[in-house]
Amino acid sequence: MIVVLGAFDGFHRGHALLLDRARALSGRHSSSAANGEWAVVTFSPHPDSVVRGGMFSLFSEEERDLLVRFFNVPHIEKIPFDETLSRTSAEGFIALLESLLPVTGVIVGEDFRFGRDREGDAAYLREVARRKGWLFDKLDSFVLEGAKVGSSSIKKHVISGDVDRARNLLGYPFFFRGRVVSGDGRGRTLGFPTANIEYPEKKILPQGGVYAASVLIGNEWWPGALNIGFNPTFLSSVENPRFETYVLDLNESLYGRTITVFLESLLRPEIKFESSDALLHQMQLDVLRVRDCFREMHARHGDVYCHLSKAFS
């Protein structure tokens, strides 16, 4: 079995090249069941959350599992990462890997490190593969517009609200998935009923504001106006930002359901309006922009949204 090793805080366009390489190599060496299979081997939780602590991820475990389906990964092996594993030598990690899977090949990105004090690297794996008769391949980092594509840079774009750039690096829109819980019901009185969505713990927070969004409910897409923030027009003290989405044209309650919201574009910052009428007028303008953005994105990237709906529903 060919394995792709990585921490994989979600999957982006650089990771997609690793997966494509594994898929291609497994197809060329399919004389036996073991040789014809491939898998992703990763860690749970992300190693940085244990080694450095306080890490906020791109995607939750549930979201990462959905992305595995989106990228057509046939098998994923999640190795529990704890203090003991962090002290395991590179040689010990290879032994662990062999105890889990019938390894016949290894594929990594050039920056992958493993083992105690990050002693294992691509050069080490190449030598291990030579001794054991494994296939081995190392892919250079994926560079787009002069910059290396990585989870760190994607996080920075999301945190700053540049979800357009994040989508370009990911290959799909940044998203979150959560259950609809009770809210204040104020949006309904204004004619814009919103779904108050639980946001995953330890997941990076996008910049506050109003976003055009694509909302996946079951296997259907809906345009959505997402507000991330504290509702300053009506609320004076809210500790954590709320994630409230007005799903256009939907005439049913979403309470208790789990939905997925994809951030398409930041429309404007969240501001305090002088009156509910002023807020209502701005929301009407926001909805017009949401419709245009939704129509444009689904026309340009229809195949991506089709694949997402199949993988996520």
Dist CA 14 CA 89 (whole Å): 27
The count of residues in the chain is 313
Dist CA 313 CA 297 (whole Å): 20
* pLDDT of res. 221: 98
* pLDDT of res. 208: 95
Pick out the chain residues at pLDDT < 50. Answer: 32-35
Distances in Å between the Cα of 186 and the Cα atoms of 14, 59, 240, 276, 281 are 43, 30, 18, 10, 15
- Domains within the chain, CATH numbers bracketed: 2-148 (3.40.50.620), 160-312 (2.40.30.30)
Q: Residue 173's closest CA among 143, 216, 126?
A: 216
* pLDDT of res. 33: 43
* pLDDT of res. 291: 98
**What are the tokens at 82?**
């704890």
Q: Residue 233's closest CA among 182, 280, 198, 290?
A: 280
Cis peptide before 47 (omega within 30 of 0): no
Torsion from C-alpha of 67, 68, 71, 75, nearest 10 degrees: 180
Map 54-96 to HEC letters.
Answer: CCCECCCHHHHHHHHHHCCCCCEEEEECCHHHHCCCHHHHHHH
**What are the tokens at 77?**
């092996």
Query: What kind and span of H or E run contains 298?
Result: helix 276-300
**Rg, C-alpha atoms of the chain:** 22
**Contact status, residue 169 vs residue 142, Cβ threshold 8 Å:** no
* pLDDT of res. 265: 98
How does 175-202 read in b/e, with b if 16+ C-beta sit within 10 Å? bbbbebeebeebbeeeebbbbbbebbee
Long-range pairs of 123-132 with CB within 8 A, sequence gap ≥ 24: 124/90, 125/5, 128/94, 129/105, 132/103
pTM: 0.93
Tell the burial category of 245 from Cβ atoms under 10 Å away from its Cβ (0-12, 13-18, 19+).
buried
* pLDDT of res. 28: 74
